[in-house]
């Protein structure tokens, strides 16, 4: 079986989490979320986890070499032998260069980079409309999935709130960071012939069908 190694790319709110879960099930890929991986290494008290904890305790970003060390270990685990789906890394072109070197050291390479593309104004509309139940965490949307009574959870009658992360000013700041730091990866991977684009404004099922067909084609091309 040819291994399938993918990066999932896209702005906050593009639906990467939803598509990652489905692709993981479709192709038996290890879903490697760098945030989850970092927390797991810290909780397990591994050498890299202890190194990362020092930076986190000091309020500093964990250096790229520590993250790459964790990724190198993770892709060597049994569930990642036939492929992985990397989510949350790289975030800039220098990290992309370092990731390519890490994969090459392991005798591996990327199969493709999947970009879920959504305009900023659509993302703001999606994210700023979310409301969350303070008791059970049920999620609503004021436009697309509103509660029966405004600001009241249908399930348990608790109050619905807008999280700080979902406020328009916060969303726009996150999108500015993405445009400045991460969006250059689009040209980077397009130049390498690895980028595949998907319209994230479409229904999530349609997006999934398109991505699944594209990944199946990439796998077939690698086998030929």
Catalytic residues: 16, 91, 130, 163, 174
Can you tell me the distance from the alpha carbon of 83 to that of 167, in angstroms, rounded to the nearest whole number? 36
Q: Which of 57, 89, 54 is nearest to 70 (CA)?
A: 89
**Rounded (10°) angle between helices 204-223 and 16-27:** 40
Which residue(s) pair with 149 in the sheet?
Answer: 152
CB atoms within 10 A of CB 143: 10
């Amino acid at each position: 079986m040819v291994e399938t190694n993918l990066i999932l790319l896209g702005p906050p709110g593009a639906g990467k989490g939803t598509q990652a879960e489905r692709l993981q099930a479709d192709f038996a890929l290890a879903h490697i979320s760098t945030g989850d991986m970092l927390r797991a290494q810290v909780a397990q008290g591994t050498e890299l986890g202890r190194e990362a904890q020092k930076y986190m305790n000091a309020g500093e970003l964990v250096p790229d070499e520590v993250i790459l060390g964790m990724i190198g270990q993770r892709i060597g685990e049994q569930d990642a032998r036939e492929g992985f789906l990397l989510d949350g890394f790289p975030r800039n072109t220098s990290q992309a260069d370092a990731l390519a070197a890490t994969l090459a050291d392991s005798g591996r390479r990327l199969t493709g980079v999947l970009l879920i593309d959504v305009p900023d104004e659509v993302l703001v509309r999606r994210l700023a409309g979310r409301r969350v139940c303070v008791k059970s965490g049920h999620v609503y949307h004021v436009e697309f999935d509103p509660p029966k009574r405004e600001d009241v959870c249908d399930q348990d009658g608790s109050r619905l709130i807008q999280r700080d992360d979902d406020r328009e000013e916060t969303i726009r700041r996150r999108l500015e960071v993405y445009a400045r730091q991460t969006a250059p990866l689009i040209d980077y991977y397009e130049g390498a012939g690895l980028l595949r684009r998907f319209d994230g404004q479409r229904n999530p099922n349609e997006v999934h069908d398109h991505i699944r067909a594209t990944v199946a084609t990439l796998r077939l091309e690698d086998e030929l």
